Amino acid sequence: MYKFTPDELAEYVGDYIRFSKNRVLKGGSAAVLEIDDYISKKRLVVKNDELESIYKSLEDIYSINGLQMHNKRYLEIPVALYSDFAKQISDSIHVGTGITYKIGPPSREYMLFLLSTAKEIPDEVLKYTLHWGHIAIPESSSTEDGDLLTVFSMTSSIVTIKLSSNRDVKQSLFTRYANSYSYEISYLTGRRCELLLNVDRIFETEKIQLHREGEPEIISAPKRMYNKELTDSYQHYLENSLVSSKYLSLYHILEHFFNKASIKETVERVRGVITKTGFSPTKEDHIRQLIAEAASNIEVNQDSRLTSKRESKALSLVISQYLSTPNQLQTLLTREEILYYSSNPVPFCDGITLDFTKNPQDFFEDCAQRIYATRNSIVHSKSENTKRYNFAKDKNALMREIPLIRTLAEIIIEEESEVIA
């Protein structure tokens, strides 16, 4: 990690302040960055002893793992979320674990760590994330100097999640708590809030996509621990700007359980055969029946692992294992969405209408058919198949399919989570 002198840090930060004339006053126990933004003149100070103290903290108190700054009772990690929105979310605490959750501007320590790390990032990339407009420093006195790192933290577009505990917590568990918190922010607000684990991710420029609107006041400490593989796919759904990519990101959440669902169902079918009255392993026709049941939904791949044989059947099994009745899905969809799925097939493929009054098994199969047909039309959109998704023509129709698969994905994420004691 690069170590700045006060003069170097003041000059480095000054290069990223827009619409102003800047100069650095060097020497002595501190460096002063003077800013003239044509409205007023401001002074930002970085003191030598304070800079040395923060670097010492980064070395002695905190451990660095990628972009995670942590010790046994603290974790700070950046996330992809608009800074203005993050500043409106209140701090919260989980009573059972005693962990406090905060989200907003980075701490001074983290800001210095990030700036030191960013020394190797190209300038044209940094200027997006580290841009400033007018600098807001304390207004209690017109002559009062602002602390450079504090002001820079408050005015950059970087957002971090900070977790603190009154007892020791393993770093891996801290990270799982942070992931659960970021997922619940995404779920409740429809805003991408992905943990950023690599340096190149924090300086990306991308739009944040919404699927529902939620206010920051509804965010609290997470009560459940979520599967990170599933929440990563959910964050990719929010991150993607193409509707087709959004759909496939959600499909991957269901696809994650294809093998598990197929094997579980096959085990039950095989168990039914061998426990049936009169079954005998010495009778060839009984063994043939056993083989037929075992081979109906699964096969052995090149790595000698059992995998699902028919993707459409596996999808139906996954839906049936996480839904008990059609009503469970109905309660999570809007009336308009239910009416649409009941009355309209998917216009660009063979996806059928859904009858929410059907018996559960038939409904689950119909639901799987609609989703699988939609998925195939996207994946095979460049083939000669006439039933294929056309980006220019079918975008709005595909958008109407998102609530169905998103709701199923959210049900699965919830079912695969654990309560935080």
Residue 133: the pLDDT is 44
- Cβ atoms of residues 375 and 246 within 8 Å: no
| Arithmetic mean of pLDDT, 175-192 | 93
Average pLDDT of the chain is 84
Q: What is the pLDDT of residue 293?
A: 73
Tens digits of residue pLDDT in 268-282? 777 887 888 888 888
Domain ranges of the chain: 254-419
For the ranges 132-141, 191-200, 270-279, the lowest mean pLDDT is seen at 132-141
Kindly indicate the confidence band of residue 292, based on its pLDDT and cuts at 50, 70 and 90: confident
Residue 383: the pLDDT is 56
- Quote the pLDDT of residue 309: 61
**pTM value?**
0.75
CB atoms within 10 A of CB 143: 5
- Least confident interval from 11-25, 29-43, 102-116, 192-206: 192-206
Is the pLDDT confidence value at 142 over 50?
A: no
If you average pLDDT over residues 326-354, what whole number do you get?
94
Q: b vs e for 212-228, b when ≥16 Cβ sit within 10 Å of the residue's Cβ?
A: eeeebeebbbbeebbbe
Average pLDDT for residues 287-314, to the nearest whole number? 72
Q: How confident is the model at residue 211 (pLDDT cuts 50, 70, 90)?
A: low
pLDDT (0 to 100) of residue 135: 46
Rounded (10°) angle between helices 402-415 and 360-379: 120
Query: Hey, what's the torsion of the CAs at 245, 247, 253, 259, to 10 degrees?
Result: -100
Q: What's residue 138's pLDDT?
A: 45
pLDDT in tens, 387-409: 789 887 898 899 999 999 999 99
Q: What is the largest CA-CA distance in the chain?
A: 96
Q: Give the mean model confidence (pLDDT) for residues 226-242.
A: 93
pLDDT greater than 80 at residue 418? yes
Q: Could you tell me the two tokens for 343?
A: 């009355």
397 exposure class (CB count in 10 Å sphere: 0-12, 13-18, 19+):
middle
- Residue 300: which pLDDT band, with cuts at 50, 70 and 90? low
Which residues share a beta bridge with 163? 75, 101
Give the per-residue pLDDT at 22.
Answer: 78
On the question of pLDDT at 111 being above 80, the answer is yes
CB atoms closer than 10 angstroms to residue 6: 25
Arithmetic mean of pLDDT, 101-128: 77
- So what's the pLDDT on residue 23? 85
Query: Residue 303: what pLDDT?
Result: 62
- Percent above pLDDT 70 for the chain: 82
The residue ranges of DSSP E strands in 151-239, in sequence order, are: 159-164, 224-225
Give the rounded percent of residues in the chain with a pLDDT score beyond 90.
47
Task: Indicate the range of 8-22, 45-59, 360-374 predicted with least confidence.
Answer: 8-22
The pLDDT of residue 49 is above 50:
yes
Per-residue pLDDT at 79: 92
